[in-house]
Amino acid sequence: MALGSLVVTFKVAPAEREIIAATLGGIADIVYLRDLDEAARAAALAGAAALLAYNIGKELRPHEPSLLAGARLIQLMSAGVDHVPLRNLPPGVPVAGNAGAYAAPMAEHAVAMALAAAKRLLVEQAKLARGEFNQFKPNKQLAGGVFGVFGFGGIGVATARLMRAFGMRVHAINRRGASEEPVDWIGTTDRLDELLAAADVLLVSTPLTRATRGVIDARALGLMKRDAILINLARGEIIDEAALYAHLQTHPDFTACIDAWWVEPVRHGAFRMDHPFMELPNVIGSPHNSASSARSLPVALERAVTNCRRALLGEVPRNLIGPDDVND
């Protein structure tokens, strides 16, 4: 007997429908909201035991979130939830993110950025194009240095494992100040200054919340090593945009690797930067595509549906969003 229904709000290809069905294992009916007319949509949402969505703000009509009062779980496909209008949901309905689902490709992206920065690949390629052959300009060796992680969750852990293979020591920050993953040093968020001062490479992979918005400001950047490499795979708003630009101008040996920008199409409807970062030689940019691997979607989908299955079976879902995770 089915334990209610799982309602899926976004477009799902046939192969992905197979993943959902196989992962759910027949314990619940699967309803694809985009297949329904208006009346059927309302009935499906009102009867949903669990909801699987990317962004309820875009996939549901303005009046529809209120129909989810009886749901046991609203499961989001994305790891970050700062762009989702959680305030529109009925109070008391559990919401879960998909933390760690995209960790593998994002970790590879972070390593690629770190190596490109440390080995001056883009800088020297541009100089070669101008006829300059700087064979003896020193580059940076990662081995023996400190890899700092601000936000030691799935992405941070996956990246740390790769960086450890290069011979880097791992220093990390998370809310608990503890981790099952081996580290050389770990602290709580109130010890961020120590992490900043120690890191040769710093990965920002913490969620955007009230507490993390703008926390990497001019003072924080001033604590970092003059030739540090800063990688942001999280959210642009964690770093003060003007402060970072000014720091890059005055610290030419410092490199910023920016995958997460301050104004982006998915979250804001447009791409914009208030300062010309891409004109600086000590910036490496990418269009927030660190998770955009063809292999990552099936993994993320299976993880999300598995969490829905837990809720449907009466188990406690993972990655539940608490008050400290909210950005607005």
Q: Tell me: do 114 and 260 sit in the same domain.
A: yes
Q: Which domain holds residue 320?
A: 5-100+294-325
Per-residue pLDDT for 110 more than 60? yes
Per-residue pLDDT for 328 more than 90? no
CA distance 120 to 215: 28
Burial 216-254 (b: 16+ CB within 10 A, else e): beeebbebbbeebbbbbbbbbbbbbbebbbebbeebeeb
Q: Tell me: do 150 and 274 sit in the same domain.
A: yes
Nearest alpha carbon to residue 306 among 28, 87, 11: 28
CA distance 92 to 72: 9
Q: Tell me: do 34 and 129 sit in the same domain.
A: no
Q: Tell me: do 139 and 20 sit in the same domain.
A: no
Kindly give the interhelix angle for 154-165 and 103-118, rounded to the nearest 10 degrees. Answer: 50
Q: Tell me: do 76 and 43 sit in the same domain.
A: yes
100: phi then psi, degrees, rounded to nearest 5? 85, -5
Residue 300: per-residue pLDDT? 95
> What average pLDDT score do residues 215-243 get?
98
Per-residue pLDDT for 209 more than 80? yes
**160 SS3 class:** helix
> What average pLDDT score do residues 273-296 get?
95
Per-residue pLDDT for 125 more than 80? yes
Looking at the DSSP bridge assignments, the partners of residue 73 are 50
Render pLDDT for 171-189 as a digit per residue (tens, 0 to 9). Answer: 999 999 999 999 999 999 9
Q: Tell me: do 147 and 161 sit in the same domain.
A: yes
Residue 325: per-residue pLDDT? 67
> What average pLDDT score do residues 312-327 get?
84
- Number of independent structural domains in the chain: 2
Please, are residues 296 and 101 in contact by the beta-carbon 8 Å criterion?
yes
Please, are residues 52 and 304 in contact by the beta-carbon 8 Å criterion?
yes
> What average pLDDT score do residues 37-51 get?
95
Per-residue pLDDT for 327 more than 70? no
The one-character DSSP state at 138 is: -
pLDDT confidence tier of residue 52, bands split at 50, 70 and 90: very high
Render pLDDT for 156-174 as a digit per residue (tens, 0 to 9). Answer: 999 999 999 999 999 999 9
Judged on CB neighbours under 10 Å (0-12, 13-18, 19+), 25 is exposed
Q: Tell me: do 178 and 316 sit in the same domain.
A: no
Please, are residues 152 and 175 in contact by the beta-carbon 8 Å criterion?
no
Q: Tell me: do 89 and 166 sit in the same domain.
A: no
Q: Tell me: do 177 and 221 sit in the same domain.
A: yes
Q: Looking at per-residue confidence, does 1 or 216 come out higher?
A: 216
CA distance 79 to 206: 11
Residue 266: per-residue pLDDT? 86
Q: Tell me: do 140 and 258 sit in the same domain.
A: yes
Q: Tell me: do 86 and 128 sit in the same domain.
A: no
**69 SS3 class:** coil
Q: Tell me: do 73 and 201 sit in the same domain.
A: no
CATH of the domain at 260: 3.40.50.720
> What average pLDDT score do residues 6-26 get?
96
Render pLDDT for 133-157 as a digit per residue (tens, 0 to 9). Answer: 999 999 999 999 999 999 999 999 9
Residue 116: per-residue pLDDT? 98
CA distance 280 to 273: 13
Please, are residues 32 and 8 in contact by the beta-carbon 8 Å criterion?
yes
pLDDT confidence tier of residue 32, bands split at 50, 70 and 90: very high
